[in-house]
Amino acid sequence: MPKILDGAAIAAAIKLEVAEEVRALAAQGIRPGLAAVLVGNVAASEIYVRSKVQACAELGLLSDLITPPDTVTTEEMLSLVAALNARDDIDGILIQLPLPSQVDAKLLLDAIAPEKDVDGFHPINAGRLQAGRPALAPCTPAGVIEILKRSDIPIAGQHAVVVGRSDIVGKPAAMLLLNQNATVTICHSKTRNLAELTRQADILVAAIGRPGFITPEMVKPGATLIDVGINRLNTREEFDRFFHGNAKREAAFAKRGSVIVGDIHPQAFELASAYTPVPGGVGLLTIAMLMANTVRAAKLRRGL
């Protein structure tokens, strides 16, 4: 039986460590602070940002939720970022995406001070990550590394194949794996003979944003499968493609009218030595790593 890599347990362990660090900093008169900027009224974003604010409260971090209207301009957002950059009580700045179409998101993210860029999106942090220097790494890829390390899965010397080349997950995941001495191959939508490459993977990271894209014939038996995808299935046809005969998922679909599937077909997990489930895997690490990044930013800013 393959080992299920429990994202909830690992996230809880990281949060406990963060809470201990926050208490240690409090003894020095320091309280790490996170500013979360949520523009407009996008329901999914509201839920996500409020869960981040709640995590700050639970772990003892200062949080400041800022909610500009969806009519906000790029210039107004740049002024807000400049003000947050200047605030000494704020160590991390998070701008929830997506932003309204009139706001230049790239310009805005680049305006965040790199030392407060707890999402790890700034080009300076991307460059530091590539150079193997201390940097604030994007939360989801950093969570992937934590899952592997805390599950005692070897990385050094292993062939890691990353499917997906986004700046948020694919590229930084590849860099982090390379920094851990894995041999890394990056694949994407234009890769030829993709299955040939994925079948070589000791560690296969799927982050392409397509439901069940990695099928059993693309997986080497005994590989570790890390599924970063979160895709919602809303129709019976989609559901039956992945979960026909699965009583537990059937009950969830009947109750909610939808279920979640990752970028790896559930049948492929049967071939793995270990895998991250969806839900319950990588996604749960993202907020924990954001909290860890905020504390790290607080320490780095003060030379600790």
Token digits for 56? 């700050």
Catalytic residue among 91, 96, 116, 117: 96
Alpha helix stretches (DSSP H) within the chain: 7-26, 43-59, 74-86, 105-111, 123-130, 139-150, 170-179, 194-198, 236-243, 247-256, 285-301
Alpha-carbon Rg for the chain, nearest whole angstrom, is: 20
Place of tokens 């996604």: 283
Asked if 119 is an active-site residue, the reply is yes
Catalytic residue among 91, 116, 117, 119: 119
CB count in 10 Å sphere of residue 134: 11
Token digits for 147? 């899952």
Closest CA to 122 of 140, 133, 132, 136: 136
Place of tokens 């860029």: 117
Question: Which value, to the nearest 10 degrees, does the dihedral of the CA atoms of residues 288, 291, 295, 296 take?
Answer: 60
Rounded Cα–Cα distance for residues 250 and 3 (Å): 23
Query: b/e per residue, 43-56, with b = 16+ CB within 10 A?
Result: eebeeebeebbebb
User: What element of type H or E holds 213?
Assistant: none
Asked if 52 is an active-site residue, the reply is yes
Asked if 96 is an active-site residue, the reply is yes
CA distance between the termini of the chain: 44
Rounded Cα–Cα distance for residues 181 and 172 (Å): 14
Cβ–Cβ < 8 Å for 228, 282: yes
How far is Cα of residue 150 from the mean position of the Cα atoms in its chain?
A: 16
DSSP state of 282: G
Catalytic residue among 52, 117, 158, 202: 52
Place of tokens 């990056």: 186
Active site residues: 52, 96, 119
